[in-house]
Amino acid sequence: MITFPNAKINLGLHITQKRRDGYHDIETCMYPIPVYDALEMILDTKSVWTATGDPIPGSPSENLILKAEKLLRKDIHGLPQLHIHLHKHIPMGAGLGGGSADAAFALKLMNSLFELHLDDFFLEEYASRLGSDCPFFIENTPKIARGRGEILEPSEVSLQGMHLVLIYPGVHIGTKEAYAGVTPRLPKIPLEEVLKDKKQWKEALVNDFEPSILPLYPEIAQIKNSLYEAGAFYAAMSGSGSSVFGLFEQTPKPLAWPSHYFVSEATL
């Protein structure tokens, strides 16, 4: 069986408070976008892991897909062995949730392949053990995310028919570095209110990481400016970066980007 884990973007991102456990509470709208990895699982007589596409750093034991498999095997004994293959295309460390998507789609794929008939509620509970963004990708629909990102509620925001330009310059921004420049605070206007009116987005739909990240990485700031110059009605960094996306009501004019940039254009 094969599935295609997709990326997400963040429409607004507020860091609301520092938690006692060392994490931060956030408020954001996560929105799925058509940028994909490919994940295949085949029943086998032995456990096999293979990967192609973009290099995946770290040992296989650190991969969230294999951690997802381990979680299921811990609770459900006697599951057949799997040959798992991942073709990696979603940029890593880009604020697009690619690793989280791979883990969540792995849970869904194993649920089908092993005929476990687990409801989304149980899959989301497993996903929450793997990472803060992982539960979002179980239903994979627009959601307001709070807490560490695992507390989800449906969002009515729609980008249907809009044009997306996604740019990743290959700059790595560590989570510790990103949070170091943020002072947690509650937003002046509730996120749900801002999302209702796209005319407000440019001024009011903010990513709290940008004020500290953009001055440190002029390349990222320039991408955002270029997207606005090309006619985007909204442009922002996704997550803690360094990918930047622009949303257009009309097909955007072609832009020239450096050859080492990851560039994806799509109609939502």
Longest dimension (CA), the chain: 57
Token reading at 21: 């456990």
Out of 8, 88, 108, 143, the active site residue is 8
CATH node for 163-267:
3.30.70.890
> Residues 104-153: pLDDT tens digits?
999 999 999 999 999 999 999 999 999 989 999 999 999 999 988 889 99
Of 239, 262, 268, the closest CA to residue 88 belongs to: 262
Token reading at 60: 């296989």
CATH node for 2-154:
3.30.230.10
pLDDT reported for residue 22: 75
Place of tokens 């799997």: 82
How many C-beta neighbours within 10 Å does residue 184 have? 15
In terms of Cβ atoms closer than 10 Å to its own Cβ (0-12, 13-18, 19+), residue 130 is: buried
Average pLDDT, the chain: 94
Of 87, 259, 54, 35, the closest CA to residue 169 belongs to: 259
Residue 8 known to be catalytic: yes
Out of 37, 102, 133, 208, the active site residue is 133
> Residues 57-91: pLDDT tens digits?
888 889 999 999 999 999 999 999 999 999 999 99
Same fold? 2-154, 163-267: no
**Buried b / exposed e along 237-247 (16+ C-beta atoms within 10 A):** bbbbbbbbbbb
Residues forming a β-bridge with 33:
7
At residue 207, does pLDDT exceed 90? yes
Of 228, 214, 231, 6, the closest CA to residue 99 belongs to: 6
Omega before 242 within 30 of 0, i.e. cis: yes
**Buried b / exposed e along 94-118 (16+ C-beta atoms within 10 A):** bbbbbbbbbbbbbbbbbbeebeeeb
Rounded to an integer, the average pLDDT of 96-104 is 97
Residue ranges of domains in the chain: 2-154, 163-267
At residue 175, does pLDDT exceed 80? no
Strand 38-44 relative to strand 2-3, pairing: antiparallel
